[in-house]
Amino acid sequence: MKFKCGIFFLVLAAFIAVGNAIAHLSCLYFGPECYSAQMAPVQLVESARNGTFLAPIANMMVSIIFIIWGLYALSAAGLIRKLPLLKIGIYSIATLCLIRGLLPLQLWLRYPERINDIALYYGIGWLITGLFFVIGYRFSSSRELYTEH
């Protein structure tokens, strides 16, 4: 049962990561308003308004990172071949997600007036995604621990 839950959590984490990549890529089509709605830095919004290459290149790089995160989750779930440095990759991704999730939460607890609801919800979403990565990996590799002996 733990093993199946682990696979489910990892597939969910992959879905969230790839969904984020698609959401970021949508800004290439929808333009500066999309960058603003996704709380992109001011430099990227201005780049999108001015038609310079900074916004699309940064957007593509971030989207590629999210796609790689999704591939690592699918690899850990055993749905695609094992990627290099899988354990380190999953724990690194989980750590980044957890940090991204905890930063808005701690800011909201200390200075609630400095954070809007959407940023708080994104933070909670990333916190949950980080937990999906780490718990999913731990649960899905629990079967390996028992089958090696």
Q: Do 28 and 59 meet the contact criterion of CB atoms below 8 Å apart?
A: yes
Q: How many helices and strands, by DSSP H and E, does the chain display?
A: 7, 0
Using one digit for the tens of pLDDT, what is the confidence trace for 112-132? Answer: 999 999 999 999 999 999 999
How many CB atoms within 10 Å of residue 132? 24
Question: Residue holding tokens 């959401």?
Answer: 23
Output the average pLDDT for the chain: 93
Q: What pLDDT is attached to residue 144?
A: 55
Using one digit for the tens of pLDDT, what is the confidence trace for 45-76? Answer: 999 999 999 999 999 999 999 999 999 999 99
Q: Which two tokens stand for residue 81?
A: 């071949």
Percent with pLDDT over 90 in the chain? 87
Closest CA to 133 of 81, 106, 100, 98: 98
pLDDT over threshold 70, residue 93: yes
Backbone Cα Rg of the chain: 17
pLDDT over threshold 70, residue 22: yes
Distances (CA, A) of 57 to 22, 23, 54, 60, 67: 15, 15, 5, 5, 15
- Specify the pTM: 0.90
Residue boundaries of the structural domains of the chain: 2-147
Q: What pLDDT is attached to residue 148?
A: 47
Question: Residue holding tokens 């999210």?
Answer: 66
Burial class from Cβ neighbours inside 10 Å (0-12, 13-18, 19+) for residue 94 reads buried
